[in-house]
Amino acid sequence: MLIKTLCSLLVAAAIVCPAEGQLDIFEESVHEYEDCRGLYQQPVGISSGGISNNAMTASSYQTKREPWTGRLYDTAGAWTPKVQNAYEWLQIDLGKQFIITKLHTQGRRGSDEYVSEFFLEFSDDGRTWRRYTNRFGIAEMFVGNIDDSSERKITLLYPIVARYVRFNPQRWNMLISMRVELTGCEYTEKTASFSGTSYIEYDMSQQAVQSTSDLLEMRFKTNSPHGILFYASGNQGDFMLLQMNRGYLNFSIDLGSTQTERGVTEVTAGSLLDDDQWHDVIIQRENKKLKVVVDRLVNLVETNGLFYRLDLDKFINIGGVEHFMQDGIKVKYNFNGCIQNVNLNGARLIADAQTQPRIQSITIHGGVGSFCGMSAATPVTFPTLESHIKLEATSSTGIMAQFDFRTHDEDGLLVYHPMAQEDSGLTVIIDEDGFVSYRIVSDTGQLVEDVVRNNDVTRASDSFADGLWHTLFIEVTDKKVNCTVDRNVKVSNRDLDVTPAVTYYLGGNELFNGFRGCMRNIYVAGRIVDLEDVFTTSGENVGSEIGTCAIRDRCTPNPCEHGGSCTQSWNTFQCDCQSSGYKGEMCHISAYHVSCEMHKQYSNVEGLEPATIDPDGSGPFPPFDVQCDRDNDGSIITSIGHDSQDWITVNGYQDPGSYVRMIKYAADDMLAMEDIIERADRCRQFIDYMCNSSKLLAPYSGDSTDQNIRTYSWWVGRTYQPMYYWGGAAPGSGKCACGLEEKGCVGGSTTCNCDAGLPEQYSDKGYLVHKDYLPVMELHFGDTGTVTDSKLGRHKLGPLECFGDDLFDNTVTFNMPDATLEFPTFEANNAGDIWYQFKTTVTDGVMVHCTGDTDFIEISLFQSDTIQFRYDVGNGVSVLSFRSPAPLNDDRWHTVHVEKNRQQAWMRIDDFTEVTLNEDADLIRLLDLKTPLFIGALVDYNDGYVGCMRGLRVNGKLMDMSGQLRQGEVYGVVRGWNCGREVGVNLKQNYMVRYEFDETQGLSATDFQYATIGFSTKVKQGILMQLKSVETPDYISVEMNNNGGVKVVFDVGFQREEVNTPNIGIDFANTQVHVVTVRRSDRGRRVVVQVDNYPPVDYTFPVSESSDTILDKPKYLYVGNNDTTNTNFGFEGCIYRMQVDNIFPLKRAFQDPRPDYIQMTPEGAVREDMCGFEEVTVSPEPIKTRPNRGELQNVTYPHSEPKELSPEERAVIG
């Protein structure tokens, strides 16, 4: 009964329906129908013999390997077809409809024959077949057996309802051999058929519904593209709606709307559903999480609005509504078709409507039947350009053909009829624009042609190649031509000499481009064509598939990520990413850099420049515009602008906070900005308020209904808390900058200048610097009087400025070949990408690995110059390789970016041209990976990578490699660069170390900002370090001067300048160890030189900002001497602990083997030397071995009696 079964739906008013647990419906899990839960599921009877031999058929079979031998556990054999190809099938007639939940397969015992992968097809009538598809609408390629005897059990994520089931092998070992079984439950149907004017209505006015979780299940079939299936509404505006529109199923729900935020959520959940086939609908909601599943096609969304409870207290309608002017309804038709087993939160609505005596709250309008009398027309599929059918029919009145067709392809033949006279005939095609075009050549050669366009007012385009069913009628007589497509009619009255022949070609002909799509309800020469019988007597079938419409809507749901637009043809789809800000086959990869730091690495523009960045890469947040710059210390500045950077006047807002300015930033989502803020060293935002007699942070003591109001004005940051302090002051101070200064504020105010209330114009301004609260999201002002008095204020807010970016600080070193880090399993159902940078000297090593039962992905360095991306998604192992023109194990940072999607594999190394490997999406599975994502080696800890890695991002999300080290013991991985020990070199006057580099090796015209050099000498001469260009005479040199000090010489274009350390009476050429540090800033115009802790020299060159202060394209870095100076004037002594920006020249010089970009003169004479300095080291690390995982704790092991010792053992023990 309805009132009893509405467990969580029809409860007393004001009682909230409890959720059964708090499962995350976004997680992939097996769905179970209430009537077929685990305890009720049983084998259908194939293995037990309950299914008769006659009910098991096949496309073909070998002698003594008949279909009925393909029973699970049958020891006598297995089904094997005559021909070993991918078109063979084993079919089981279950005798009645079952809910199928599990599949069981075996091979042929003792033969090494088995099927490793197969498709599953099912049918209700044995004539029209559909393949089991996955959540993306792609045919599911099931993984079968791995040997000939073990049983493979497969649980379907979403059960199917069917009477007929087919196994269609795709890959096998030796021969196709199968033994099978199915598990499930008998299907009990409760059917209601609707005519388009009938519907069922449930009055909910006395049984209000309040639910935070919902489950709606149903099945339906129809041949009408429009209609309302389900509608439930409440007096507060809440509703739930299922409607068909142009063959698409649209679900809408509103949990509550406000004046500022609409709560309606709309999901397009399926398409091509007007095909006379049963379709399964499952809708689950848990608070604001919503899952809509149609024929296993999954849509996951968050509901809009602020509410999470559904309130229904008006009506629930099935099959239609009384009138269409209701919230959410877009179609103007009630449903015409059949609906089965509508279950809402445990209530079986159709069963309750058919209960006798009828429940008082249920009303049936019109004639609602209790069984489905619809019979599906037999369709035919033309899957290739060559497939077609040839029919023979005659008519004395003229030429006539009529049929329904649907396609996504343009330019294909629909029908061709050669007439009796040579070169005469009728041709009807879909042209390049998707219009239906016909051409008639009469017996006398007269030409008649025209085009029919789609004029449907609800159409998405003028094209008929939209995937929907369209009806074509073409008739040619000696008096007229009538070509009608749907309601689009083209009639031409004219005299024609036409002599009909007997042959009609549908779908193709050797003279024309073929049609790829489906047809049904075919009439030729006024007679209906029975597709299942016609070819037994006449006609010809060339490659077409009778009994199924295999057309797929590859664009529903949209596979193109980030708002890319999808177009499709018969066997593929394309994504247009132009306006999305992303690129690639699936619009998955961002077209922009993740930060200003990376943008500047590839930019030639000095100083401030506009840029577009995407902080989460391929993640969900769109890219946005910023300004990128460097400060005087070389740190990156990221500036995010907004709509309130100019002066805005505040006047006529007297009450505290009555003026509200919402700040709209260039970044649409605060979470995207938080990525920038959290990665930055520090952030700031300038804020300025100018006032005339209007107060700012003065305490407010007037009447107010809000007891939390403390001042006239405040600002709100990303914590959404009112902030009662101003720029230049500290949180919680309640002051502006002047209130914290010794001088104080004007007029004796203790808080702000504006709080003095003076009529003159004053201002309070400064930087907000506490990044935990930034950026400013709202500005609230008051005390600006009326528009007629003199009180007013003006505000201006600067952009958010963030300094630094620690994206590349997340660096680790793999110092053992079996060292690994583990992260969550790599997900790439639709598309997935991995980005990282590496630095190594080894020639080979696996960097990334993740596996499943048979699938895997692997990224590795191969033979020092090649990056390989290997993977297997059911089509065998594929390898995408890129070979670099130079070795990649050169101890420099290199970038790897790999993407795997449904269409192709994609890879880009550094800034080289990307490489791709295209695939046929119909012949592969989606990646099915199960292990964690292993970084550093294979999942079995072999073939490992030794070197550094940083910035690992998976699908746009930063993987915190350093954080894993902080959480506990990680074998063989250390944080940061493992730079080892100190390195020094003892030089004579004619000794030299030369380091050769280019821009790709980490140093360019803008990079030299910092150098530190340790030295000891007794000679007051020589080069400590020199950077030199070869294209120009420019150089920068750090040398000993004649006074025993250090000088830095700049000759970089504007003039020659020399900066010497201060003369403080200390001679650094005293054989003791010293360290000199050189820092440049302000684009090279300012230099600071300091030795040890002695006073530095800070010098700014007296040149304009446009002067050339940059060393262009340095080629060499010299240590001790250069190749042009007299060898008697070189440096003599020891140099150690040397670093130039991110380069450690001496460590590179003495690594084994020595890199080819380092030269030592004289060769063989320059040797490493400790030089007497105190080395800064760490204790030697113990020899590492991968730890044993040990025995399980708190486990009681079964007791076993010790074995009795043998006589030999007793003799040994004594």
Please report the domains of the chain, with CATH numbers, ordered by start residue. 34-186 (2.60.120.260), 190-365 (2.60.120.200), 380-546 (2.60.120.200), 558-589 (2.10.25.10), 638-806 (2.60.120.1000), 826-975 (2.60.120.200), 984-1161 (2.60.120.200)
Amino acid code (one letter) for 190: K
Does the structure show a pLDDT above 60 at 156? yes
Which of these, 804, 859, 815, 837, lies nearest to 950 by C-alpha position? Answer: 837
SS3 1148: helix
Question: What pLDDT score does 462 carry?
Answer: 83
> Mean pLDDT over residues 953-969, rounded?
83
Of 451-455, 850-854, 1148-1152, which range is least confident? 1148-1152
Q: CA angle 541-547-551, nearest 5°? A: 95
- Over residues 526-576, the pLDDT tens digits come to 899 988 777 777 788 999 988 888 888 888 888 899 989 999 999 889 999
Under DSSP, the state recorded for 676 is: H
Phi-psi region at 1108: left, alpha or beta (left = phi > 0; alpha = psi -120 to 50): beta
Cα–Cα distance measured from residue 703 to residue 700, given in angstroms and rounded to the nearest whole number: 9
Average pLDDT, the chain: 87
> Mean pLDDT over residues 946-965, rounded?
89
Enclosing H/E stretch for 353 = helix 349-353
Does the structure show a pLDDT above 60 at 1190? no
Tokens 């446009």 — which residue?
Answer: 1106
- Over residues 740-798, the pLDDT tens digits come to 998 899 988 999 999 998 989 999 999 999 999 999 999 999 999 998 898 999 999 99
Query: Which two three-digit tokens encode residue 587?
Result: 């619009």
Amino acid code (one letter) for 1022: G
Does the structure show a pLDDT above 70 at 1174? no
Of 80-89, 186-195, 1139-1148, which range is least confident? 1139-1148
| The CA-based dihedral angle spanning residues 967, 972, 976, 978, taken in that order and rounded to the nearest 10 degrees | 150
> Mean pLDDT over residues 790-813, rounded?
90
pLDDT tier for residue 1152 given thresholds of 50, 70 and 90: low
- Over residues 1088-1128, the pLDDT tens digits come to 999 999 999 999 888 877 777 778 778 899 999 988 877 77
Q: Which residues have CB under 8 Å from 300's CB, separation 6+?
A: 26, 289, 290, 291
Cα–Cα distance measured from residue 445 to residue 438, given in angstroms and rounded to the nearest whole number: 15
Q: Tell me how crowded residue 922 is: count the other CB atoms within 10 A of its CB.
A: 12
Q: CA angle 41-43-44, nearest 5°? A: 105
Q: What would the DSSP string read from start to end of 689-747?
A: EEEES--SSPBP-S--S-TT--BS-EEE-TT--EE---TTS-TTS---GGGGSSS--GG
Question: What pLDDT score does 3 carry?
Answer: 35
Q: Which residues have CB under 8 Å from 172's CB, separation 6+?
A: 84, 113, 114, 115, 116
Cα–Cα distance measured from residue 179 to residue 118, given in angstroms and rounded to the nearest whole number: 13
Amino acid code (one letter) for 714: W
> Mean pLDDT over residues 673-691, rounded?
93
Q: What is the pTM of this model?
A: 0.75
Establish whether the linkage from the previous residue to 43 is cis, with ω within 30° of 0.
no
Amino acid code (one letter) for 790: S
Tokens 């201006």 — which residue?
Answer: 796
Question: What pLDDT score does 123 carry?
Answer: 93
> Mean pLDDT over residues 380-403, rounded?
90
Does the structure show a pLDDT above 80 at 519? yes
**Three-state SS string across 940-956, please?**
CCCCECCEEEEEEEECC
Does the structure show a pLDDT above 70 at 1204? no
Under DSSP, the state recorded for 1051 is: E
* β-strand pairing of 90-106 with 152-173: antiparallel
Cα–Cα distance measured from residue 474 to residue 486, given in angstroms and rounded to the nearest whole number: 11
Which of these, 305, 332, 325, 323, lies nearest to 243 by C-alpha position? Answer: 332
Enclosing H/E stretch for 1146 = helix 1145-1149
For residues 136 and 1049, the model is more confident at 1049
Question: What pLDDT score does 39 carry?
Answer: 86
Cα–Cα distance measured from residue 241 to residue 244, given in angstroms and rounded to the nearest whole number: 10
Does the structure show a pLDDT above 80 at 26? no
* β-strand pairing of 56-58 with 191-195: unpaired
Rounded percentage of the chain residues whose pLDDT exceeds 70: 91
- Over residues 185-215, the pLDDT tens digits come to 999 999 999 999 999 999 998 888 889 999 9
Does the structure show a pLDDT above 80 at 56? yes
Question: What pLDDT score does 972 carry?
Answer: 66
pLDDT tier for residue 1210 given thresholds of 50, 70 and 90: low
Q: What would the DSSP string read from start to end of 920-984?
A: -GGG-PPP---S-EEESS-TTS-SB--EEEEEEEETTEEP-HHHHHHHS--TTEEES----S--E
Of 609-613, 625-629, 865-869, 1134-1138, which range is least confident? 1134-1138
* β-strand pairing of 1010-1017 with 1133-1140: antiparallel
For residues 969 and 153, the model is more confident at 153
For residues 588 and 262, the model is more confident at 588
Question: What pLDDT score does 1194 carry?
Answer: 52
SS3 1067: coil
Phi first, then psi: what are they for 262, rounded to 5°? Answer: -75, 145
CA distances from 355 to 350, 367, 475 (A): 9, 16, 51
How long is the chain?
A: 1214
CA distances from 936 to 218, 647, 951, 954 (A): 49, 54, 14, 15
Query: Which two three-digit tokens encode residue 509?
Result: 């002909």
pLDDT tier for residue 399 given thresholds of 50, 70 and 90: very high
Does the structure show a pLDDT above 50 at 2? no
Does the structure show a pLDDT above 80 at 835? yes
Question: What pLDDT score does 258 carry?
Answer: 83
Question: What pLDDT score does 12 carry?
Answer: 32
Cα–Cα distance measured from residue 914 to residue 904, given in angstroms and rounded to the nearest whole number: 12
3-state helix, strand, coil split of the chain in percent (to 5) is 5, 40, 50
Question: What pLDDT score does 1005 carry?
Answer: 43
Radius of gyration of the chain (CA): 39
SS3 596: helix
